[in-house]
Structure 1
């Protein structure tokens, strides 16, 4: 991270470099500028990338800050926008095993994450919700899902959470699979698994992320409030990796299963093909 605060010019240049690399599908062999020193600075860079995008935002991914950095960063989680063009709602066949394809930045960073996707049931204006009172009443639905973490920066995650924030949270796809009925009880008794190229990578309790998925939703609401962002009804919260962040290459064939509720079989393909 940069030892000194970034100038407004550096922030603008960094946002342009990151957003244009995504738009032009240009792979970067290193982070294209000084790494923001604080979360606040990183979110200003992210704001610049959001402004540069022509896509509407349909929700936010929530990621974890490594445990050893949480005290220094002053946060357990980070967020990044989910743009409409990488929002992938599945049909019934695709949510029950029919193969589909997901584009990624070939040669860049690519990872698969099994995640619960939460849909909110009302508009949430900044400061209108005290999340300490609970957020379950704000949930319209909970879905089996996948986040595809992909960036033109080949080793983005190695630069730390502020770099990840700056590059829109390091994601290029949020897959929304089957709705989970009676989700409060169901996810407490469900296992989620990820298989890559016919090898079982990991299995974990579906509700096993730090303090549970409602903590991720609360964080998204609070972080957006601090940034003056209104969350429209229907906004999605991709709530965090259940089985881990699994790095892969183009061509990988994967299966993500949420108990007996949803089976998602997919192949990662080059965004340019």
Structure 2
């Protein structure tokens, strides 16, 4: 990564390369341009990618910055848009064991991430919320969920947080399972597990992400405020990987369990 700021032409060319590869379902052997030096640059690229999409935004995914890069980049987390066409609301049967399919970029980057998905209960205008005073009052519901991280860039995560943020946060699906009853209490004693191809990959405390899911929710509100983005009521926050970012392949079968609340069985399929 260079320390030279990207020019406006480089930013536009990078956004075009990333957004067109997604639109055309075209796999890229590497990151298609210079990697942004800062998250601020990356969000400008992301904004251009958003402008190139014909889909409305229904929420945002929150991802983590590796600890060794947090001081340099000035943040612990990154943000990426969730477009309407990759929001999937499961039926009750699918939330409790009935198998379903999820599309991904075959040959590109593919990972599954069990996540709590938080829904807002009101419009949130930039600067209207002091998150230091708490954000729980802004929650309509919390769902057992899954984020699908998938990109045409084969090894996107290997290029670091600014590359990930540029490519809309490596976002290709937020899956809403069961709304968790009495979520404030329930998630404090719940465990989430991920199994891929019949192998248990990991089990972790459902509320165990850095500083808890409300911290991720607050970050979404703050980052959107800084970028001048209003969050409409009903916006989603995919709050961060609970058991990890689990890279896998088309054809793999997975089970994500949120305690006794939700069991989601799915197969990854080619999005073509």
Structure 1's unaligned 5+ residue stretches are none
In structure 2, C-alpha distance between the alignment counterparts of 1:2 and 1:105, rounded to whole Å: 29
2:245 is aligned to 245
Structure 1 residue ranges, 4+ long, deviating more than 3 angstroms after superposition: none
Matched, 1:264 2:264: yes
In structure 2, C-alpha distance between the alignment counterparts of 1:262 and 1:130, rounded to whole Å: 33
In structure 2, C-alpha distance between the alignment counterparts of 1:190 and 1:67, rounded to whole Å: 26
In structure 1, C-alpha distance between the alignment counterparts of 2:137 and 2:3, rounded to whole Å: 42
Q: How many residues align?
A: 272
Q: Secondary structure at the match of 1:165?
A: helix
In structure 2, C-alpha distance between the alignment counterparts of 1:251 and 1:171, rounded to whole Å: 19
In structure 1, C-alpha distance between the alignment counterparts of 2:91 and 2:233, rounded to whole Å: 22
Matched, 1:228 2:235: no
2:61 is aligned to 61
- Once the two structures are TM-superposed, the CA of residue 5 in structure 1 deviates from its matched residue by 0.3
Q: Secondary structure at the match of 2:68?
A: helix
2:136 is aligned to 136
Q: Secondary structure at the match of 1:117?
A: strand
In structure 1, C-alpha distance between the alignment counterparts of 2:229 and 2:83, rounded to whole Å: 15
Q: Secondary structure at the match of 1:55?
A: coil
In structure 2, C-alpha distance between the alignment counterparts of 1:9 and 1:206, rounded to whole Å: 43
Deviations 1:153-207 (A, max 9, x none): 0000000000000000001111000000110100000000000000000000000
In structure 2, C-alpha distance between the alignment counterparts of 1:2 and 1:146, rounded to whole Å: 34
In structure 1, C-alpha distance between the alignment counterparts of 2:58 and 2:263, rounded to whole Å: 23
Matched, 1:167 2:167: yes
2:190 is aligned to 190
Q: Secondary structure at the match of 1:46?
A: helix
- Once the two structures are TM-superposed, the CA of residue 239 in structure 1 deviates from its matched residue by 0.0
Q: Secondary structure at the match of 2:79?
A: strand
Q: Secondary structure at the match of 1:54?
A: coil
- Once the two structures are TM-superposed, the CA of residue 106 in structure 1 deviates from its matched residue by 0.3
In structure 2, C-alpha distance between the alignment counterparts of 1:80 and 1:99, rounded to whole Å: 28
Deviations 1:12-66 (A, max 9, x none): 0000000000000000000000000000000000000000000000000000000
Q: TM-score, normalised by structure 1?
A: 0.99
In structure 1, C-alpha distance between the alignment counterparts of 2:3 and 2:225, rounded to whole Å: 28
In structure 2, C-alpha distance between the alignment counterparts of 1:183 and 1:92, rounded to whole Å: 18
In structure 2, C-alpha distance between the alignment counterparts of 1:79 and 1:262, rounded to whole Å: 26
1:85 is aligned to 85
Q: TM-score, normalised by structure 2?
A: 1.00
What is the Cα-based RMSD across aligned positions, in Å? 0.4
In structure 1, C-alpha distance between the alignment counterparts of 2:2 and 2:104, rounded to whole Å: 29
Q: Secondary structure at the match of 1:48?
A: helix
Matched, 1:7 2:13: no
Report matched runs for 1:36-185 at 5 Å: 36-185=36-185
Q: Secondary structure at the match of 2:123?
A: coil
- Once the two structures are TM-superposed, the CA of residue 2 in structure 1 deviates from its matched residue by 2.8
- Once the two structures are TM-superposed, the CA of residue 3 in structure 1 deviates from its matched residue by 1.9
Q: Secondary structure at the match of 1:123?
A: coil
Q: Secondary structure at the match of 2:168?
A: coil
